[in-house]
């Protein structure tokens, strides 16, 4: 005849199931962040190479501008004017970039946690999940 498991067995199964569930919930954000990093790694390498070329271009361009302004002002004055203009440009573009920055978390994980909380309210507390 079939024998029903005791409370100790049921609580042991429940404990194991909760541990497994928590482990999987903690693993989900790691997987999602790893996917995002892997997807963007190649792009980051190309941006690094582009940055090196852009930096070399900017150095040559600044030397050219200083030389052109030096035709009108002394060399030290032209270097000072160009440095001030570049500082203003860096400040403006940095501020615009900061304002456009969007930081987001792992959305699938956040949605999963919200669903779990709603399920727990409904199932365990017997309330509607509102």
pLDDT in tens, 7-54: 788 788 888 888 888 888 888 888 888 888 888 888 888 888 999 999
Q: Is residue 2 part of a domain?
A: no
Q: Is residue 130 part of a domain?
A: no
Q: Is residue 1 part of a domain?
A: no
Alpha carbons 75 and 6: distance in angstroms, whole number = 91
Q: Is residue 15 part of a domain?
A: yes
| Range of the structural domain that residue 58 is part of | 7-125
Q: Is residue 105 part of a domain?
A: yes
Number of domains, the chain: 1
Q: Is residue 93 part of a domain?
A: yes
pLDDT over 70, % of the chain: 95
First-residue to last-residue Cα distance in the chain: 45
Q: Is residue 39 part of a domain?
A: yes
| Total-model pTM | 0.43
Alpha carbons 111 and 102: distance in angstroms, whole number = 19
pLDDT above 60 for 1: no
CA-based nearest residue to 31, from 56, 23, 13: 23
pLDDT recorded at residue 129: 47
Q: Is residue 95 part of a domain?
A: yes
């Amino acid at each position: 005849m079939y024998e029903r498991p005791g409370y100790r067995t049921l609580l042991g199964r429940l404990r194991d199931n909760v541990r497994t569930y928590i482990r999987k919930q903690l693993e989900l954000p790691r997987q999602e962040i790893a996917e995002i990093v892997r997807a963007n790694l190649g792009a980051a390498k190309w941006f690094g190479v582009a940055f090196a070329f852009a930096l070399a271009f900017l150095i040559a361009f600044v030397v050219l501008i200083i030389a052109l302004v030096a035709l009108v002002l002394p060399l030290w004055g032209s270097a000072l004017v160009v440095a001030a203009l570049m500082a203003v440009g860096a400040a403006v573009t940095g501020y615009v970039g900061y304002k456009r920055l969007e930081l987001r978390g792992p959305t699938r994980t956040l949605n999963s946690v919200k669903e779990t909380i709603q399920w727990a309210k409904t199932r365990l507390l017997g309330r509607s999940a509102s």
